[in-house]
Chains A and B, each alone.
Chain A
Amino acid sequence: MGGGGGGVPEELLTAQETALYDRQIRVWGVDAQKRLSKAHVLVCGVNGATIELCKNIVLAGVGSLSLMDDHVVTEDDLNANFLIPPDESIYSGRSRAEVCCESLKDFNPMVRVSVEKGDPSLIDEEFLDKFDIIVLSRTSMKTKLFVNDNCRKSSKHIAFYAIECKGSCGEIFVDLQNHSYVQKHAGEPEPKELTYHSLQEAISVPWKNLPRKTAKLYFAMRVLENYELSQGRSACETSLSDLPAVLALRKNMCDEMSLNESQIPTALLERLVAAGKKEHPPVCAILGGILGQEVIKSISGKGDPIKNFFYFDDTDGKGVMEDIPGPSTN
């Protein structure tokens, strides 16, 4: 209560922020909005799915967004990316991060959007400390494990996400380490705590320990990862001609870990290898939307976050969470 002028000026949202963010403050509150405006996000790998994410969090009003992707734009990049104009004179010779950075800046003048040059596989702890949130996409599993490991070593609490869209399927991985948040239960706020597994732990759990209902995509993605690794391919570098070899690998892995091969349908693997680097734009929108909400949840400390995988497949239309335990749980 008390006098109207009694607030602490620095802690107030500006009139500009209040007007722009009115509708979303009604969803997540002023506190969450203030926390958002202080968060620094790094996105490595610029593609259809991550661009959807970037759009969402820039609109939401994060403090800053840095893009890392030195790959020079090619025609293939236009497929699911609405930030690259189909005009060679604009994108020719420039990196994905540079071209998209420019467009993203326009979305919200209150957010600092910038380019970080470099290779995600070289990201060290010191560099990571500049950020609160790291998102990786289209990098090798090796790089993901390396960066996830560095996030965990950092004294700072850094949220780690990996997101992949393959054709009409998608996967999101979440590692918030130890995450405290507030859950609204019957209108009453209730403090909660979650402990996450590292990416290494989450992909090395013996399959026979997992429940029968575990998402088929979880297994399929592990087969593809192993295939890319064994062939020295970069992320998503597959085509339909790889199918026989991928099916052979499926058999090996299933035998080794006592899983029935039918848990990883051939049709699913076929769709995934055939998709290669292609992303289905509606699926990018869905994955980027879900991950956007997750980033907002982890920054604001409000609402149940995903633990620790999310899957979407447009053939059944389900968006499913999977809580994959660590290898030692059993």
Chain B
Amino acid sequence: MASSATASEEAVKAAKVLMVGAGGIGCELLKTLALSGFRDIHIIDLDTIEVSNLNRQFLFRKCHVGQSKAHVARDAVLKFRPNINITSYHANVKDAQFNVEFFKQFNVVLNGLDNLDARRHVNRLCLAAEVPLVESGTTGFLGQVTVHVKGKTECYECQPKPVPKSYPVCTITSTPSKFVHCIVWAKDLLFAKLFGDKNQDNDLNVHSSESGSSKSNVFERNKDEDLDQYARRIYDHVFGYNIELALENEETWKNRRRPNPVYIRDALPEEDSRQNGSSHDCSNEQEEPSAMVSLGFRNPQEIWNLADNSRVLLKALRLFFEKREKEIGNLIFDKDDQLAVEFVTAAANIRASSFGIPLHSLFEAKGVAGNIVHAVATTNAIIAGLIVIEAIKVLQGDYKKYRMTYCLEHPSRKMLLMPVEPFEPNKSCYVCSETPLLLDVNTKTTKLREVIDKIIKGKLGMNLPLVMIGHTLVFEDGDGLEEDEAANYALNLEKVLAELPAPVINGTKLTVEDFQQELSCSINIKHREEFDEEKEPDGMVLSGWSAPVEKQVTSNGGASSSGAPDTDGNPEDISTKPGMKRKLDEILDSKENFDASSTSSAQVVDDDDDDDMVMLDEDPKLAKKKRLQ
């Protein structure tokens, strides 16, 4: 015992570790690593500190807001462990400086990330550099830690990863049925149209029949048009006229509830006349313009009615033009921009009320619009502790002891922390094995650019891809290209597949590579002309890779009992526990049974299995996989 303690202490002292992420998990992890005797820690984080981090990222203080997380975390930990080496990088882990050579210098890599994209990137670099990876994630009271060692356990991408939910265009533009659809409309269409890049086209109807042919875009403000008049005109167009227009299409509403057009004179009848003239804003001195504050609304948890939402919308629009005119045309929705959140909340609620969808508070709307991850300090602390325990095992190379551990909100078989044996690598994983993928695509109409954006970057997560057909290089990304090469590739991008210098037709095999990630895979092309617009919105279908699971992951609802809005449109939230919810649902199912048989009685349930770990055999998908020996 004593000798093994010393062995692990020695391994810890000698280790050089890389941490990716200095956020919720990262702060806890850096502290626990330092206390545990680690002496050479490198930490990468791109982010700067925000006020909403301070409730859990305990190495940061209010005075640090705006500064680099990596640097501030380093300085804070050096205060209580001045004699260790911490090297901080305020940078993106996807930067070229963090190449395979860089990764090779570490004994283990520890992830505390909040997005799928970076997780996949680090996974690939760890595979290429043959460095073990300890991966983690949390949401609310749930969390997990997994270990990925090339050739010994599955890699991070061996199992399906939920991808950000996307919605069919027509659901957003014409037939919303959930509040999140209204949020997406308010944020991506209306907000973008009014305040974003004017050259960026979107699916919002901007034409009005009333004003005749002289005017093509109702969003253009007339010369000398009063701001109130303008705001009301926009209001009536998007919530009134556009709905009337949609109602004309009887086919759409055969099996759907018909929406009610909303006009400003109906929403705010009594204020029809006295809204003219200058703003009666009494809070000119406030630092950040806020429609809520100007109107005297104080509680972000309160649900405003239609009239209040209409007031907020008009006020917010007005404040954008009065106080932030310079930014108009360049604005992108940001969850930390109070006025933008107010505008989007109000617009989504007005649309919701038109479609008979329940209204939501600003606080809730902000969560949906900003894809906000629910986060508490306790879960991050627990997960960081578990990461360090796994890291120490990895340093000792004792792979039979590796575990993936789930942190649960409700106990399963008496466990709140449940260790499970890692799985073997998935032999058909396109990342850690060499299985070819299959792409169904219309080779006569699809441009190379679409395949690169939607599939190679979008689905395969490559950063700087290179595309080859046979021995012909048709595209390469990145700096350092010759001018004529770059021009040539740019031309290829706009060509349809069948017309590329080496034509891509049914049966062609593409080779795609990312040198930075040292990832290469083959894609067999299958030509197909028809695609279902609703189910296959990309107009192409990739198979043979870990197909994403979109909705069903949360359908049991058991795992996300935080009472927060459901995780639609919340990519970071879902991606923090790839494949985990599916497993958790299984676990929680058994927990429900367990509860029913022993509700509040004092008996101890004596489950008959031995003292080994939980096996997830009840899940047929997982049972197929072999476990490590």
Binding site for B on A (CB under 8 A): 1-7, 9, 12, 18-30, 48, 52, 55-56, 59-61, 79-80, 82-86, 106-109, 184, 186-187, 192-194, 210-214, 240, 267, 270-271, 274, 280-286, 288-290, 292-293, 296, 303-304, 306, 310, 312, 314, 316-326, 329
CB distance from B233 to the nearest CB of A (A): 25
**Contact partner of A7 among B298, B379, B557, B613, CB < 8 A?**
B298
Give the distance in Å from the alpha carbon of A16 to the alpha carbon of B80 in the complex: 29
Q: Is the CB of A285 within 8 A of B56?
A: no
Interface centre among A6, A26, A310, A329 (most CB of B within 10 A): A26
Contact at A289–B602, with CB atoms within 8 Å?
A: no
Q: How far is the CA of A4 from the CA of B291 in the complex (A)?
A: 12
Give bound CA distance, A285 to B55, whole Å. Answer: 17
Q: How far is the CA of A240 from the CA of B388 in the complex (A)?
A: 26
* Distance A27 CA – B34 CA, assembled complex (angstroms): 29
A to B CB contacts below 8 Å, 24 in the list: A2-B305, A4-B298, A4-B299, A5-B296, A6-B302, A7-B302, A24-B55, A24-B376, A55-B58, A55-B377, A186-B557, A211-B604, A213-B606, A270-B1, A282-B389, A283-B385, A289-B377, A293-B376, A303-B141, A317-B403, A318-B418, A319-B415, A321-B416, A326-B602
A4-B304, A20-B54, A213-B606 as given contacts; A303 in contact with B409, CB under 8 Å: yes
Are A86 and B80 in touch, CB under 8 angstroms?
Answer: yes
Q: How far is the CA of A107 from the CA of B1 in the complex (A)?
A: 38
Known: A20-B51, A322-B414. A267 touches B1 (CB 8 A): yes
Judged by a CB distance under 8 angstroms, whether B410 is at the interface is: yes
Instruction: Decide if A316 touches B419 in the complex (CB within 8 Å).
Output: yes
Take A7-B299, A304-B410 as given contacts and tell me if A59 and B377 are in contact as well, using a CB distance cutoff of 8 Å: yes
Does chain A have a CB within 8 A of B374?
yes
B58 & A59 in contact (Cβ 8 Å cutoff): yes
Does B1 contact A25, Cβ atoms closer than 8 Å? no
CA distance A214 to B602 in the complex (A): 13
From residue B347, how far is it (CB to closest CB) to chain A in Å? 16
Q: Which 4 A-B pairs have the closest CB atoms?
A: A319-B417, A4-B297, A285-B385, A289-B382
With A55-B377, A106-B61 in contact, is A318–B302 under 8 Å at CB? no
Contact partners of B292 in chain A: CB under 8 A: 4
Chain B hits for A26, CB < 8 A: 140, 367, 372, 374, 562, 564
Contact A317–B604 (Cβ < 8 Å)? no
Return A73 CB to nearest CB of chain B, in Å. 13
A23 & B32 in contact (Cβ 8 Å cutoff): no
B247 at the binding interface (Cβ < 8 Å) = no
Instruction: Write the nearest CB–CB distance from A98 to chain B, whole angstroms.
Output: 16
| Segment 402-442 of B: residues with Cβ below 8 Å from A | 403, 405, 407, 409-411, 414-419
Q: Would you call A317 and B32 a contact (CB within 8 A)? A: no
Task: Give per-residue flags for B380-392: 1 if the beta carbon is below 8 A from chain A beta carbons, else 0.
Answer: 1110111011000
Q: How far is the CB of A219 from chain B (nearest CB, A)?
A: 14
B557-593 to A contact mask, C-beta < 8 Å, 1/0: 1100111100000000000000000000000000000
Report the minimal beta-carbon distance from A165 to chain B, rounded to whole angstroms.
11
Asked if B537 CB lies within 8 Å of chain A CBs, one says no
On chain B, the residues within 8 Å of A29 by CB distance are 563
Q: Let me know if B562 and A82 touch, CB within 8 A.
A: no
0/1 per residue, B584-610, Cβ < 8 Å to A?
Answer: 000000000000000010111111000
Are B378 and A289 in contact (CB-based, < 8 A)? yes
User: Whole-angstrom distance between the alpha carbons of A186 and B380 in the complex?
Assistant: 25
Q: Are B414 and A320 in contact (CB under 8 A)?
A: yes
Tell me whether A212 and B606 are in contact in the complex, defined as CB-CB below 8 angstroms, given that A4-B295, A192-B600, A319-B416 are known contacts.
yes
Interface size class of B (residues with CB under 8 A): 35 or more
Asked whether, in the complex, the Cβ of A23 is within 8 Å of the Cβ of B378, the reply is no
| B36: interface (CB < 8 Å) | yes
Measured in the bound complex, the distance between the Cα atoms of B7 and A177 in whole Å is: 45
In the complex, the answer to whether A23 meets B379 with C-beta atoms within 8 Å is no
In the complex formed, the residue of B with least CB distance to A6 is: B302
Contacts of A108 in B (CB 8 A): 54
* Contact present for A60 and B377 (CB under 8 Å): yes
Chain A neighbourhood of B295, CB < 8 A: 4
Q: Which of B61, B141, B417 has most chain A Cβ within 10 Å?
A: B417
Contacts of A286 in B (CB 8 A): 381-382, 385-386, 417
Q: Chain A nearest CB: distance from B479 CB in Å?
A: 38
Contact of A80 among B1, B35, B367, B417 (CB under 8 A): B35
* Docked pose: A303 CA to B31 CA in angstroms: 29
What is the chain A residue whose CB lies nearest that of B610?
A213
Bound-state CA distance A324–B604 (Å) is: 7
- Does B490 make an interface contact (CB < 8 A)? no
In angstroms, Cα B34 to Cα A281, docked, is 9
Identify which of B52, B56, B607 contacts A19 (C-beta below 8 A).
B52
**Residues A293 and B141 in contact in the complex (CB < 8 Å), given A84-B80, A281-B32, A285-B382:** yes
Q: Report the minimum CB–CB distance from A3 to chain B (whole Å).
A: 7
Q: Which of B367, B374, B562, B604 has the most CB of A within 10 A?
A: B604
The answer on a CB contact under 8 Å between A25 and B56 is no
Taking a contact as CB atoms under 8 Å apart, the answer to whether B35 and A281 are in contact is yes
Q: Which residues does chain B contribute within 8 Å of A304, judged by CB atoms?
A: 410-411
Q: Which B327-342 residues sit within 8 Å CB-CB of chain A?
A: none
The answer to whether A310 touches B604 (Cβ under 8 A) is no
- Tell me the smallest distance from the CB of B272 to a CB of chain A, in Å: 19
Q: Do B389 and A23 have beta carbons less than 8 Å apart? A: no
Known contacts A27-B376, A318-B417: does B80 contact A85 (CB below 8 Å)? Answer: yes
**In the complex, given contacts A82-B77, A281-B385, what are 13 additional A-B residue pairs having Cβ atoms less than 8 angstroms apart?**
A4-B298, A5-B296, A7-B302, A25-B363, A27-B564, A184-B563, A240-B2, A282-B389, A285-B384, A292-B378, A303-B141, A314-B389, A318-B415
Structural contact, B602 and A323, CB atoms closer than 8 A: yes
Q: Which residues, 39 to 89 on B, are CB-close (under 8 Å) to A?
A: 51-52, 54-56, 58, 61-62, 77, 79-82
* Known pairs A59-B377, A240-B2, A317-B419; A23 contacts B56 (CB<8 A): yes
B residues within 8 A CB of A194? 600
Known: A3-B308, A24-B375, A60-B376. A321 touches B411 (CB 8 A): yes
In the complex, are the beta carbons of A27 and B297 less than 8 A apart?
A: no
B300 within 8 A of A: yes
Tell me the complex Cα distance, A296–B613, Å.
29
Choose among B54, B61, B382 the residue with the greatest number of A CB atoms under 10 Å from its CB: B382
Alpha-carbon gap, A60 to B56, bound state (A): 8
- CA of A24 to CA of B375 in the docked complex: distance in angstroms? 6
**In the assembled complex, which residues on chain A have CB atoms less than 8 Å from the CB atom of B605?**
211
- Whether the pair B61, A86 counts as a contact (CB closer than 8 A) is no
Known contacts A4-B298, A7-B302, A323-B602; decide if A281 and B388 are in contact (CB<8 Å): yes
Determine the residue in chain A with the shortest Cβ distance to B564.
A26
B11 sits at the interface (CB 8 A): no
Query: B303 contacts the other chain (Cβ, under 8 Å)?
Result: yes
